[in-house]
Structure 1
Amino acid sequence: MATKAYGAHAADKPLEPIDIERRAVGAHDVQIAIAYCGVCHSDLHQVRSEWDGTLYPCVPGHEIVGHVTAVGEDVTRFKAGDVVGVGCMVDSCQHCSSCDEGLEQYCENGFVGTYNGPTPDVPGHTLGGYSQNIVVNDKFVLKISHPADQLAAVAPLLCAGITTYSPLRHWQAGPGKKIGIVGIGGLGHMGIKLAHAMGAHVVAFTTSESKRQDALDLGADEVVISRDPDQMAAHADSFDFILNTVAASHNLDAFSGLLKRDGTLCLVGVPEHPHPSPNVAPLIFRRRAIAGSLIGGIAETQEMLDFCAEKGITADIEMIPIQDIEAAYKRMLKSDVKYRFVIDSASLAAA
């Protein structure tokens, strides 16, 4: 199926209109007309070859919301007209121990990304959500139950939402727990909302005093300016869990020292340059841990979407036409968005 998309033909070329082909609907496939696609920092890293192995043409986009237009003969969970989502994965080996446990994001043979992943489809790698349509194996399609007027703001839940929800659930954020969220951006703003909805006491960390009120409005109980040693020292040895969403290289010791005994500092951002090596003494003497977390499996992503629908949680977004994507990337690099750009896919018709 011929589909209009936006993609780049090289790392130093801008995104531009391109025509791509989607495969015919197979027995286990769901064909989706894309209504909205969130803009993730990963899109920029990949399309600009800031991550190794970018394949061109590159069509980014893995925060997809749309409507089912066709299903394969063996598909029973979806029908035409259903509102659905697609996140960061469109396939995995489905037989390793991680896949067997519903942890496809840790597939031992490598999950297939929604873009830049291996596929027998033309052109040999997956093409993402900056496009009008997509065809996805039904196991990797998610049901969305938010009301229609919230669908654009649901799109970032498929990456920013699950990236923060999964570690908060894994380390059991909830009533009686003191949870820190470092960084108030696309990921961090979702972390604050989710931890608050889970019933935890939420402390937001930011380098900017100007973000204090924003963090409180998102659901933080307290806000700490992380550049202020006195504010940081006031919270020493007090956190059960800190979720660090900052992707820039920085000193982790400032945060690991705030953990209780057995507390965990979890990283979800991959910095361009490695973090300075952490001091091990604060870890050893308090049995603290520094850990990482990657998105979530399909079952957990569905759980997150259902939780957000029940609690009325969406991302804070700014909608753009696809024609403004290069300007959006420039603004994203300056953190000039509250807090996630979302593409109105109807604009592709004019591409």
Structure 2
Amino acid sequence: MMTMDKYSNLNFNESPQFPEVNVYPPKWNFDNDKAWQIYRRAKREQWDEDQISWDKVKEWASGLDRKERMAIAYWFSLLSCFDNATPVFAYAVIKSFEFHLDTAVRGILTTITYDENRHNMVCGLSIQNTLPGFPLDLKPQDDLERKAMLNAQWVWWNGSRYWNAYLEAYKKYTFDVLFTSFMMGEAAATTVFTTMSKGAKNEEFSKVFKNTAVDETRHYAFTHLIMIDSAKNMNEEKRKLVTKQIRAGFVFLSLITYKPPKDFWKLPPWFTEVHEKMEDIARNAGFYIPNEKEKEEAWRQAVLRVGASLKRYGISMPAMPELGITGEEIKDINEDDFVPIF
């Protein structure tokens, strides 16, 4: 029995009908000046992680004891949970083409994908040149080392929960909600990395954090652009979603930019004690990590910065009781509420 060719009725005298969600047909627009400015800025500000002298990092680390080297590797392993974001933005690039977003917005997302790959490489190179094998392929020498390794592994496990939730997020949220969501995190990260670049005693790490802060500043500009372009057309439901997502971003990022909140994170009972111990060891080794007061100040600056923007468009700021900041109370945050950070 012959089967009918599904293309047998194509009428080549008419324009074809394209699927609704597809990267075809290619479309371009060149009228979003602010987005084009950010895209061109991203190309100008690119940097190469191979220009960092990793041999100098390795030489510096060789003068530290094992616990000090582990503490630095520990910090970068936690950072990598957030900087393992290349697939996050690669997926966003695909979606931006499928939904035919502005040409410049697609271009910006492509550059952020490259930025995140670079940040991820920096984490790996930092670990490789301080304590190779941490945290998966190293034999702990005592209980502190064992718990520090488990801390890092369980943080990554929490990241796997986030990844699964992210894949589902596109079924629930529109692009404007998704990418306005990590505005707060970008603002805080900019301040934290700028502070770390100024406080670093190792010149190569100072360069790393200075360059990373430049990237995060640009990422913030992108999230701010998405917000101002879409907020005026948001209904009340979307505004509430943005408020909730900003709180979720704080909860997620606080693990490394502040202190682990009780929401979302499923961590060993010793996590905070060991985490604070490892940060102190790293500081004593000359690896600058902001103290709790400095971290709080970074988040307060982020709240003021983002809150002022949200207020203009009638979007409420979430309460941040950890920082003593009042706002709309958000309850029941879970992994389904998390969208891309960093």
Q: Could you say which TM-score interval applies, normalised by the shorter chain? A: under 0.3
Task: Give the number of the structure whose residues are more often helix, by fraction.
Answer: 2
Task: Give the number of the structure whose residues are more often strand, by fraction.
Answer: 1
**TM-score relative to the length of structure 2:** 0.23
Does 1 or 2 have the higher relative contact order (CA < 8 Å, sep 6+)?
Answer: 2
**TM-score relative to the length of structure 1:** 0.22
